[in-house]
């Protein structure tokens, strides 16, 4: 538990680009609103004035010579600001905080994708998050071939991260699946299912986690 408040939960959504992750965040938070739950949805990187400026650098297609270590520290710097300025204060007030990506993205993308040392990343993640660990993490899993298909379908210009190529994304996907196999907080969802079907799975797990937390308080 990240807060002494019985209604506080920290929920994260993870997935490859075009996995439908952000769609599920929107559906989930809309349902929280209908249920009358006090909640906040944010994104990582971003979510603060400092974080949004860092995000613009990280995703800028014109920034092509950024080192992998620089990328790691920029993501972590944005996250540290987000945790201290937004996430922890809201959890302490009993808010359900829903975050579109968190440090599992760093482990999967910069660690298993870029090949940076996982032990160093784990240390940086703990420091940037101030020891905060998500109560539940939803990983929307889709094959890399589906990422490519959706990218073409949406006819969007790839940002700097999305320009990394198929082999990179295959490593990232396997990294996520490895993380999910090691941490019970993960709920792996088939991103090829219908949007509403995925949402119902998300809501069912949320209710289970909330019920368990309240029974412990």
Quick check: is 4 in a domain? Answer: no
Place of tokens 């907080």: 185
> Which CATH number do you get for residue 184?
3.40.50.300
Tell me how many domains the chain contains. Answer: 1
Helix-then-strand count for the chain, H and E = 9, 5
- In this prediction the pTM is 0.93
CA distance 177 to 175: 5
Contact residues for 38 (Cβ-Cβ < 8 A; gap 6+): 7, 93, 94, 95, 96
Quick check: is 111 in a domain? Answer: yes
Can you read off the two tokens belonging to residue 186? 């993960």
Can you read off the two tokens belonging to residue 151? 């990218």
Contact 201, 189 (CB under 8 A): yes
Q: Which residue has the higher pLDDT, 164 or 149?
A: 149
Q: What is the pLDDT of residue 4?
A: 67
* 190-208 mean pLDDT: 98
CA distance 208 to 186: 13
Helix/strand/coil for 136: strand
What tens digit of pLDDT does each residue of 130-139 get?
Answer: 999 999 999 9
What is the extent of the structural domain holding 98? 9-216
Q: What is the pLDDT of residue 162?
A: 59
How many beta carbons lie within 10 A of that of residue 100, not counting itself? 21
Quick check: is 73 in a domain? Answer: yes
Q: What is the pLDDT of residue 157?
A: 60
CA distance 134 to 125: 12
CA distance 13 to 11: 7
Quick check: is 1 in a domain? Answer: no
What tens digit of pLDDT does each residue of 78-122 get?
Answer: 999 999 999 999 999 999 999 999 999 999 999 999 999 999 999
Quick check: is 26 in a domain? Answer: yes
Contact 130, 42 (CB under 8 A): no
């Amino acid at each position: 538990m990240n807060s002494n408040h019985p209604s506080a939960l920290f929920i994260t959504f993870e997935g490859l680009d075009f996995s439908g992750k952000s769609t599920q965040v929107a559906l989930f938070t809309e349902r929280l609103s209908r249920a009358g739950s006090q909640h906040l949805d944010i994104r990582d990187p971003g979510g603060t004035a400092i974080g949004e400026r860092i995000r613009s650098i990280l995703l800028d297609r014109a920034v092509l010579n950024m080192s992998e270590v620089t990328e790691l520290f920029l993501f972590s710097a944005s996250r540290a600001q987000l945790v201290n300025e937004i996430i922890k204060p809201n959890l302490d007030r009993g808010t359900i905080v829903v975050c579109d990506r968190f440090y599992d993205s760093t482990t999967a993308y910069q660690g298993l994708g870029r090949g940076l040392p996982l032990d160093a990343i784990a240390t940086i993640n703990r420091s940037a998050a101030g020891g905060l660990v998500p109560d539940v993490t939803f990983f929307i899993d889709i094959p890399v071939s589906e990422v490519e298909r959706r990218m073409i379908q949406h006819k969007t210009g790839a940002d700097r991260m999305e320009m990394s190529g198929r082999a990179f994304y295959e490593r990232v996907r396997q990294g996520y699946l490895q993380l999910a196999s090691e941490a019970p907080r993960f709920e792996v969802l088939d991103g090829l299912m219908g949007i509403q079907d995925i949402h119902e799975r998300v809501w069912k797990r949320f209710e289970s986690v909330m019920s368990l937390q309240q029974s412990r308080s």
